Amino acid sequence: MRVRLALGAAANTLLIAGLAAATPAHAGRFDDLTVNGTGTVAADGTITLSGTYRCLPDGSPGPVFVSSTLVQGDESTGIGGTHAVCDGQVREWTNSSKGTGSRYERGEATVRAHLMKLSTKSGLPMPQPLAREEAQVQLG
């Protein structure tokens, strides 16, 4: 009986290990967000940040957006917002904001990005976070 239990446990361990090895890290149902490692500060002060997102349709009402915040030193500014298409495909996002660049310098900064759904299930738009990413970027 103990041999049978030991063999069963070993078979389960191998099965689980095999499934884990065969499954890519980003497989399955999930929402995801990335931030590109570079951003730009144009001569007119326009800041541009970018990355990728993926969101899945869930059938509930409400728009989905990618928002971003740029942090450098004591400065923190929201940089635009991109309307997201939730179809399960990896898509690019780009957010820009004009006139805020005079407060920022070329060099290292932090970007905080959020993939957010404005759920209208209750009648009022309520933010529903889907994914977030914080990354160091190089402003050029």
- The reported pLDDT for the residue numbered 113 is 98
81 has which bridge partners? Answer: 67
How far is it, in rounded angstroms, from Cα 1 to Cα 5? 6
- The reported pLDDT for the residue numbered 79 is 95
Sign of CA dihedral 105, 106, 111, 116: positive
Provide the token pair at 80: 């635009």
Q: Are the beta carbons of 28 and 129 closer than 8 angstroms?
A: no
Q: How confident is the chain (140 residues) per 10-residue block, as mean pLDDT?
A: 39 34 47 97 92 92 94 93 96 91 87 94 88 97
Which residue carries 């050029």 as its tokens? 140
- The reported pLDDT for the residue numbered 1 is 45
Give per-residue pLDDT as tens, 41-69.
998 889 999 999 999 998 888 899 999 99
- The reported pLDDT for the residue numbered 25 is 40
- Angle among Cα 107, 111, 114 to the nearest 5 degrees reads 165
